[in-house]
Amino acid sequence: MNVTIVDYQSGNISSVINSFTEVAKDKINLEVTSDINKIKSCDKIVLPGQGSFKSCVESLNSISGLVDTLKEFAITNKKPLLGICVGLQMFADIGYEEAETQGLGWISGKVSKIDNQKGKFKLPHIGWNEIEIQKESKIFKDIKNKSHMYFVHSYEFIPEDKSVISAITNYSSKIVCAVERDNLFGTQFHPEKSDKVGLNVIDNFLKL
């Protein structure tokens, strides 16, 4: 099996690469690339994202043909794709970080700043938080409800269709921290920084 981590210069993704390499061991061919042809021919895609919604979208768009290739892969051909952090947020129609920016439009919704209740909650939301699993999810197989995951974000994805939400976390409000729809998976938390339970999420995705 060939799994591609899309490297589109969206910040430091070394921890994503290291954790996927650790889980994949020698069983899975893991490639880190933005090469369109390699992405087209792989079996699964990991779309990481660090930094702002706007900067990540611009970085994706700066590579000719990449957005169309990802859409064909995930939406037309329905192959498994996992978005991490801003990688998940970009599934949305629109984001409001820095400036109003069009997302990929794969799952209808918006990305808005977390309501910190007039400074009661610190932003960015950094650290370990409990997740509440909302529905049976392929990437949460054998993962206990109320497990702790690692977060770093100031913005949240608010999908229009609540049935896509696979997990939430409580931080000022109930924040969507994972989505699943058919072959599309996304986590707001960082599985690559979430210790053994995070590696289990990665393993579940690779075993799909």
Write out the catalytic residue numbers: 85, 190, 192
Q: Report CA-CA distances (Å) from 59 to 48, 56, 135, 189.
A: 12, 5, 33, 21
Distance, in Å, from the CA atom of 123 to the CA atom of 163, rounded to the nearest integer, reads 27
Q: Which helix (H) or strand (E) holds 37?
A: helix 36-41
- Tell me whether residue 157 is exposed, middle or buried, using C-beta atoms within 10 angstroms of its C-beta: 0 to 12, 13 to 18, 19 or more: buried
For residue 53, give the nearest of 166, 164, 175, 156 by alpha carbon: 156
Coarse DSSP helix, strand, coil percentages of the chain, rounded to the nearest 5 percent: 30, 30, 40
DSSP state for residue 85 in the 8-state scheme: T
Q: Report CA-CA distances (Å) from 185 to 10, 63, 107, 126, 177.
A: 19, 23, 11, 22, 11
